[in-house]
Each structure stands twice: as C-alpha cells, then as structure tokens.
A and B are shown apart, each in its own frame.
Chain A
Amino acid sequence: MAKRIEVSGLHAYYGGVHAIEDISMTIEPRSVTAFIGPSGCGKSTFLRTLNRMHEVIPGARVEGKVLLDDEDLYGPDVDPVAVRRVVGMVFQRPNPFPTMSIYDNVAAGLKLNGVRRKSRLDDIVEESLKGANLWNEVKDRLNKPGAGLSGGQQQRLCIARAIAVQPQVLLMDEPCSALDPISTLAIEDLIAELKSRYTIVIVTHNMQQAARVSDRTAFFNIAGVGKPGRLIEIGETSKIFTKPEQKATEEYITGRFG
C-alpha cells in the first residue's frame, strides 16, 4: 500500500515569491521521514507540494517533478483531487468539521469515495478510530460533534479521518505543536504503528521528536531573509543527529544556529 516518493528539481512559488528552490529527494515507503529546519525555510510549503495542496492558494504554483511510484503527480493528465485521495494530510491545528459528529468526520472521506453501505462505514470508522488510538475515548459518543473533543483528541480524530480512506502516504505538518506532552506521546506512538502500513512524512520543530519517531531526517534552511528555502541534506536520522555532513545541519541540531 505504501508508496515511494521521488522528488526532483522542485520549485514552489507564492505569486512572485520564490519559496523553495530546487529540491530533490527520495522518501522511502513504510518509514517515517522528518523535515526539520528553521521557521520560514519552506517545510510546510514543500510538504504541501506533495499532495498538490500548494496550488489551492491563489497565485501559488509549482515547478518540477514529484513521482509517486513512477507516476508524476504534476503530469498533465493528473487530477489534483485524485492525488489528494492517495496522499492524505494532517494539519498543524486540528481541523475537524465543526458541524459534523465524530462519526461523520471520520466517514467524510469515505463518502467522497462513494462508500455508502452503513455496515461498511461502521466497520471502517471503528477501525480508523482504533488505528488513531481514539476509539476507547469516543466509542460511546460517536454522534456528538467532533468539535467537543479536546485538542489532542481532535488531532487524533483528524488522523483517523485521514487514514480512513487508506491513503498511500500520510503527510503531517507539526501535528503535535498544539498538544500537551501526553497527547504528543500518544500521537508519536501512533506514528510508530502507522509506519508499517504508510509512507509518513512529518514536519516538526522538536528535535527529540524527530529523533524519536523518524527513520530519515531532512534538514532545510534558508540563506537569508527573502531567499528561497533549500534542502541542505537528508539521511538516516541517527546519522543526521550524530555525524551530519553539512556544518549548517550540525549547528542547527546542536542549537548553535544563526
């Protein structure tokens, strides 16, 4: 189910602003890849190019190639809607649909995919909520609004919603930044479980988190204000955190940055 992503020569722009420059990397399937780097270096922007969410911002555009198991996501015949059904996304701030129940939130993507049978929906909703470690907390109130959950529960609800459609890839943009340490650990455990089935990419500002959950780490940086962000290096997490090849990486990781 999980797929490999190969990015080559990727640039992203916001109108006239060149946000990221010439990024090439391979993201391995069934593993967790962490993106780290200073604020504004383009981690979110790059992440959003991987499921064609970048272009929903007015004036934003992308150049370059993103291959998902040899299929170019930016090919001329590719429908961005189809891409997003295969590459799921979890945002920094939990964003369940506020008017929908917990159940309907998880079922939303399934219904888009044409799943209508109640029994099948029930099964997948349960399975997804279990997958997101939320089932026990919500099984008695599936019909209550999703907005009534705590922040950490809402974020796990969003993860359940994303995995319910069984994507090939799961992108997470600082999924724990709005959460307390307990919820953070719950989500990190969840990521560890999910990686056996999905290709996972996670953006994080938390070095320990990157070290704990990821197999590979990519470090991004900007040369200066107004310059586009670049990929400095990518490698095994253990190697990036102990013997990085680039000086900038070492400085960032050891906190001697800037």
Chain B
Amino acid sequence: MTTDTGVSTTAAAAGGRVRDAAIGTGRAGDKIFASAARGSGILVLALMAAIAVFLIWKAIPALQKNEAAFLTSEEWNPNAQPPRFGIAQLAFGTVVSSLLALAMATPVAIGIALFISYYAPRSVAGPLGYLVDLLAAVPSIVYGLWGLLVLAPRMEGVSGFLNSALGWIPLFGGDSPGKNSIFTASVVLAIMILPIISSISREVFLQVPRAHVEAALALGATRWEMIKLAVLPYGRSGMIGAAMLGLGRAMGETIAVAMVLTFVPGINWHILEDGGTTFAANIANSFAEATETGRGALIASGLVLFVITLIVNMAARAVVARRKEDA
C-alpha cells in the first residue's frame, strides 16, 4: 500500500535505499548514480547540521543572560536589562491556534475531497479541484491582509455569539470578545491549510483500488456506505498524514498571523479576546528592533518551534505506521 504522503516519503527517500544502490553490478552508471545519491544525501545532512549549529551557537549567549525560566515564563523582554524571556505564551498561542485551525479545516477539507472524488459530476469535479489547489498558491500576505481587513471586522459578531452561547467552555469565556484574537487567527489558518489537506486527501482517495470500491458496491452499499467500507479505511493513514502536514504549516505560518493578532502580553485562555502571539509571528514582529540578546532569544524560540514541529511530525509518522500494521 502506498498511502505515503509528504510526511513519510521525504525521510524514506533520504535515509532509505541509498546504500543498497551502491551494491549494484558495478557498472559505471550505477557507480555514478550511487555516488550522486550518496553525495546529495550527505549534503542535506551537512546543511541541516550547519544550520542547527549556527542557530544554537547564536542562541546560547542570550539564554545564558536570561534571568527568567526560558521554557515556562510568560514574559518576553529580551531587550531589557537584565533580559527576561520565556516561551510559554508563544507556545500557547502557536499550539492553540494551530490545533483549532486543524479542527476546523480537517473535516471541511476531507468533505471537499470526498465530494470532488465521489459525488461531483466530472464537469464540476475538475474545476473545483483546480480551484482548491489554487487556494494553496495564494501568498500568505494576501491571507493576512484579507484576515485583517475583511475577516477580522466580521469576526466580532461571531466571537460575541460564541461567547454568549458557549461561554461556559473556558476557551470561549471572557468578558470582551474581540476581533484580533487567536480565534480569528485560527480561522485564517484553517483557510490556509484547507487546500493542502484537501488535495492530499484527494490524491489518497484516487488511489483507492477499484476492486475495493466494487466489492462494497456489489454488497449493496450506498455511496456513503461504500466510502465508509472502502475509501476511509484505505485512506486513513494518508488523511492523518495530510492533517499533520496542515498542522505543521499552521504552526510555522508567520505573516498572516502576525497581521491579524494584536499583541497583549501573557497567556490568555480566553481565545475570543484580543491578544496572543505565536513563535513565528513574534519573530517577524520583533526581529527588526531586537538587540543582540533579543535576536538570540528569538532564535532560541525558533529552535523550540522547530522541535515542536519535529515532534508533531514524528507523532504523525508513528500513528501512520501503527495504523499500517493494524491493516
């Protein structure tokens, strides 16, 4: 079964069969290809190592001067004397906005993919699929502008409604629902990650073997029952991979989030209220005016984002691998 998505293919390709290729028949072409492949592999690893070393080397002095707890403090004053900074509010904003975006985008994206693959007549499916793919090509700055100028003003009403209807849920609580909130940012993020989740899911659905589809139909399954019997089980790991790629994209998204959010220091669990920030948005907003130590602090926060993304990726791969074994 090849339900691999970007999440799992890259590493398999990089770390996979490079060495087996060297055990070829010894013909010239084989040798050239083997060394070219090995060379590119080594180059990638070396580059990654170089970047990591550079970033860590830049971050260490700032971390040494830091007077606050880097992992748990909600402060972000790296330019002060003495510098005090911690990533707690960044991590909070990043994780909450991305997860919320994922929760909103995934069902819609999979719904769109199913509609295009199994419900829409062919004359509609083609253009619609193309349109969804086109959404992925829109630059983030455009989403940012749209989020700030078009969406945010309209979110005030939505936030107010959610606050009054679902205020008993702590996340939706608070006294002053606003428009430049984490919630608004996650709506923008949801729209941004929708196309990638949708098009990967569609790719996966296209690969569902005809034999499984026909097996379900021949048993007297309706279209939806066929999807449940044949399509979703086959596409499950691919859909998880797609969602994780979307999550990764949402966590790293910078400019759109930076434009939508109004910075208010500290963690605010009431995500309908203005404020909040993320790793990437914080770096974009404060890098220009940062001092030497400030830059080191931002780089350190970037490293944390990198680690979180890595963990998400590995978790996704573990899920996908376990599901495959079950299958």
Q: Given A56, A86, A99, which contacts B234 in the complex, CB threshold below 8 Å?
A: A99
Q: Which of B198-235 contact A (CB under 8 A)?
A: 209, 211-222, 225, 229-230, 233-234
Q: Are B218 and A53 in contact (CB under 8 A)?
A: yes
A56 with B217: in contact, given A98-B234, A99-B327, A100-B233 (CB under 8 Å)?
A: yes
Q: Are A81 and B234 in contact (CB under 8 A)?
A: no
Interface of B is mostly: helix
Asked if B154 is an interface residue, CB under 8 A from chain A, the answer is no
Chain B residues positioned under 8 Å from A29 (CB to CB): none
Q: How far is the CB of B127 from chain A (nearest CB, A)?
A: 17
Q: Which of A157-192 contact B (CB under 8 A)?
A: 158, 161-162, 165
Contacts A53-B217, A112-B219 known; 8 new A-B pairs at CB < 8 A = A56-B213, A56-B217, A88-B219, A89-B218, A97-B215, A98-B212, A98-B233, A108-B229
- Closest residue of chain A to B223, judged by CB? A81
Chain B contacts to A: CB under 8 angstroms:
1, 122, 209, 211-222, 225, 229-230, 233-234, 236, 326-327
A82 with B212: in contact, given A58-B122, A99-B327, A108-B229 (CB under 8 Å)?
A: no
Chain B residues positioned under 8 Å from A98 (CB to CB): 1, 212, 233-234, 327
Chain A residues positioned under 8 Å from B211 (CB to CB): 91, 93, 95
Bound form: Cα–Cα A99–B234 in Å: 7
Asked if A84 is an interface residue, CB under 8 A from chain B, the answer is yes
Bound form: Cα–Cα A9–B327 in Å: 45
Asked if A153 is an interface residue, CB under 8 A from chain B, the answer is no
- Closest residue of chain B to A56, judged by CB? B217
A82 with B234: in contact, given A95-B214, A99-B327, A112-B225 (CB under 8 Å)?
A: no
Chain B residues positioned under 8 Å from A95 (CB to CB): 209, 211-212, 214-215
Bound form: Cα–Cα A145–B220 in Å: 22
Counting chain B CB atoms within 10 Å of each CB, which of A95, A96, A109 scores highest?
A95
